Amino acid sequence: MALGSTMLQLSVKQELDQEVSEVDEFFAEVFEFLSLGTVTVREVALEKAGGISGDNAAIPIDYSDTGFATLRLLFGSKEEVFFLAPSHVPSPPVSGAGLALLEAFDARVISSGTNLFVSRRLGAHAYFDEF
């Protein structure tokens, strides 16, 4: 139960065999229960390295903006407040949340008949204080 300062962090490295011709959208979430106190989110961030290229149509392998991350604060009443990455300044205080949920997404890619070389790495983190 997360009173005090808390970090949620997720790092993913995904590699595929060259016979795979379609790379699914990536989604994962990391969560921690809260104590219904007052939460201030200090930072939410996501970074991606690696990438995807095909035999005939090279997509630059570089840092990419296709990754997407959110931190959601969920309440018992099914309401929620969410914060988008990147954010590096303290949020307004939010009271009464029961769950902090860090979600990371990345795009789906389909090859048009060529091999894909895939190695992608995503990292997302969120820092928040609960008092």
50 binds another protein (CB under 8 A): yes
Burial class (CB in 10 A: 0-12, 13-18, 19+), 13: exposed
* Separation of alpha carbons 45 and 127, rounded Å: 9
Give the nearest distance from C-beta 43 to another protein in angstroms: 14
3 binds another protein (CB under 8 A): no
* Separation of alpha carbons 5 and 122, rounded Å: 24
- Binders of another protein among 63-122, rule CB under 8 A? 110, 113, 115, 117, 119-121
Contacts of 114 by beta carbon, 8 Å cutoff, 6+ apart: 21, 54, 55, 56, 57
Contact 43, 129 (CB under 8 A): no
Give the nearest distance from C-beta 24 to another protein in angstroms: 6
Out of 49, 72, 96, 107, name the contact with another protein by CB under 8 A.
Answer: 49
Give the nearest distance from C-beta 11 to another protein in angstroms: 4
Contacts to another protein by CB under 8 A: 1-2, 6-17, 19-22, 24, 27-33, 49-51, 53, 55, 58, 60-62, 110, 113, 115, 117, 119-121, 125
